[in-house]
Structure 1
Amino acid sequence: MTGSMVALITPMQADGAVDFPALLKLIDFHLASGTDAIVAVGTTGESATLDVDEHIAVIDATVRAVAGRIPVIAGTGANNTREAIALATAAAEAGADAHLSVTPYYNRPTQAGLIAHFTAIAEAVDLPMILYNVPGRTGVDMQVATTLALAAHPRIVGTKEASGSLERMRALIDGAPSGFAVYSGDDNLSCAAILSGAAGTISVTANVAPALMHEMTAAALRGDAEAAQALDARLMGLHRELFCQPNPIPAKWAVAELGLSPAGIRLPLLPLEPAFIPQVRAAMIDAGVLTV
């Protein structure tokens, strides 16, 4: 799996109910826009506030709607190893192509604990697993040596690195065994990471500018640095402004502004504050996804 992989929002009505018709509309939008894979119910998909039944239902609906046209990666992370195994098992039963498992948040395991956690999941569920390191949200940072130790497991096929460090991604790329993919989890670093050997990006920006993200990653994957960097320059405002408030608050506003989804979001998150709307709208205009 390579290219631009959207960390898809979960559309919701004003009361927070999952909007499945809007989800199907979004999937059609991404298929038409060249998105290379869909990540369902990751951080951007509000995995933290979907209950287990909703979580599985969104994965199942996404797999059914995509119908094998591009890969579907199911978000299955949890800070409870048993729950992570249960979610990964459900993703496998739904027909997902892989699953994305975040480092356990809040309980802050040691590096040895991370190895034990991810190994237990990989041993229990016959589905390719992508690790996910995002210390700014979880409170635990999976070190390069830990990731590379886990990379030896045949079912652990890649990692999404969202530490904010290009040097960290380059160290993972340099140390990875054959067949182990490194994906950027930081939109602002994705172009440079792919030009350095990353396989692609798992992207928030792709929710709003999927065609441009696909073009940028395709150029970077073929080694055309000039074209990739020019395309990325058009996206840089979105890379910045989609994080002006905690993700996915700005992304959900932007997707609603495009007419693709209601603007619903679940507590404890609130809709985008009005003071931030002009800068997000300006970034969308700069990227060419919204007219003045």
Structure 2
Amino acid sequence: MAHLGRLLTAMVTPYTPAGEVDTAHARRLARMLVEHGNDGVVVTGTTGEAPLLTDDEKYRLWAEVKQELGEATVIAGAGTNDTRHSVHLAQLAERAGADGILAVVPYYLKPSQEGIFRHFKAIAESTSLPVIIYNVPGRVGTGMTVETILRCAEVPNIVGNKEANGDLRHTAAVMEAAPAFKIWSGNDNDNFHLWCMGAWGAISVTAHVVARQQRRMMELIDAGRVLEAAAIHRALCRVTDACFLNGSPSTIRYVLRRLGFDIGAPRLPVVEPDEATGAKVMAELSRHELDVPVRA
């Protein structure tokens, strides 16, 4: 599944001043991200405020961004806590031309492991697209066990897992048992560790601004130059901490606007950092080489 790409940005959703989805700016942002070293983007994931978008808005974003990027990867965030709705979105994403599906563990309801497995199996069986499952217990309230992930790995078009549980032993057990199953790091501060363990790639928030450094770190690890990669990782940890200082997607949206991207204000209940927090974020980022320079 190399065509899905190794380094993907979980892209924010741009809005007009009136609060409508701005597909023109979404196309420009996606193009910039690929030019700066990403293999593609995830559109309407958590960072893209998926719960705050209508199905029609999602479809238009998937179709427009795919049209803009051509051969570069567009993964559609199509997971909800409703299996029927997720199936519908997966089918919409296929119609829009997306290259794959990202589907999160159902949130709020806290289903059993059996319910989680059946949810993902239903989504996968509804589409011919490859599906990446997303394990992020800190956001959804329930994590997948190793056994559940391995069951999902046996479903033909479930090709990998975006792993954001922070437990390297858990992920190592999956990788040992199913070496062909792709792992994308879902926590930017885990990228180095997971890549050293043999993970496939990352679905990243900070790749909005440091994709080139992440790409270089990946290349160094692939070449066995781990100490050089570790030096990049140490610096990127500070970037990650800054970009999550007010949570995500709040902080990265603020950063992008301060860097000159006209993406508009987030939709409620997401709000940008206050002035003091924002100043701390930009002061830290000003110490690092970003893909887009920090404005004075």
Q: TM-score range by the shorter chain?
A: over 0.9
1:20 corresponds to: 23
Aligned 8 A contact 2:186 2:202 in 1: yes
Aligned 8 A contact 1:3 1:218 in 2: no
Aligned 8 A contact 2:217 2:233 in 1: yes
Structure 1 pair 274–151 and aligned structure 2 pair: CA distance change class (3 A):
same
The 1-side partners of 2:224 and 2:19 are apart by 43
Aligned 8 A contact 2:101 2:129 in 1: yes
The 2-side partners of 1:15 and 1:265 are apart by 11
Residue from 103, 109, 127 that aligns with 1:101: 103
Deviation at 1:279, TM superposition (A): 2.1
1:60 corresponds to: 63
Aligned 8 A contact 2:250 2:273 in 1: yes
The 1-side partners of 2:111 and 2:224 are apart by 38
- Structure 1 unaligned segments of length 5 or more: list them: none
Residue from 4, 8, 12 that aligns with 1:9: 12
Structure 1 pair 229–17 and aligned structure 2 pair: CA distance change class (3 A):
same
After TM superposition, the structure 1 stretch with the greater mean CA deviation from structure 2, 25-34 or 38-47, is 25-34
Letter in 2 for 1:258: L
1:84 corresponds to: 86
Q: What secondary structure, in the 3-state scheme, does the structure 2 residue paired with 1:39 have? A: strand
2:205 corresponds to: 204
Cα deviation 1:100-151 (Å, max 9, x = unaligned)? 0000111111000011111111111111000001111111111111001110
Deviation at 1:2, TM superposition (A): 4.3
1:261 corresponds to: 262
With normalisation by structure 1, the TM-score equals 0.95
Deviation at 1:222, TM superposition (A): 3.5
Letter in 1 for 2:185: S
2:49 corresponds to: 46
Letter in 2 for 1:116: R
1:234 corresponds to: 235
Q: What secondary structure, in the 3-state scheme, does the structure 1 residue paired with 2:57 have? A: helix
2:142 corresponds to: 140
Deviation at 1:165, TM superposition (A): 1.9
Q: What secondary structure, in the 3-state scheme, does the structure 2 residue paired with 1:209 have? A: helix
Letter in 2 for 1:267: L
Deviation at 1:177, TM superposition (A): 4.3
The answer to whether the aligner puts 1:34 opposite 2:66 as a matched pair is: no
2:190 corresponds to: 189
Q: What secondary structure, in the 3-state scheme, does the structure 1 residue paired with 2:173 have? A: helix
Q: What secondary structure, in the 3-state scheme, does the structure 1 residue paired with 2:183 have? A: strand
Residue from 55, 74, 77 that aligns with 1:75: 77
Letter in 1 for 2:283: A
1:131 corresponds to: 133
The 2-side partners of 1:98 and 1:55 are apart by 14
Deviation at 1:281, TM superposition (A): 0.7
- Structure 2 unaligned segments of length 5 or more: list them: none
Deviation at 1:255, TM superposition (A): 0.9
After TM superposition, the structure 1 stretch with the greater mean CA deviation from structure 2, 132-141 or 168-177, is 168-177
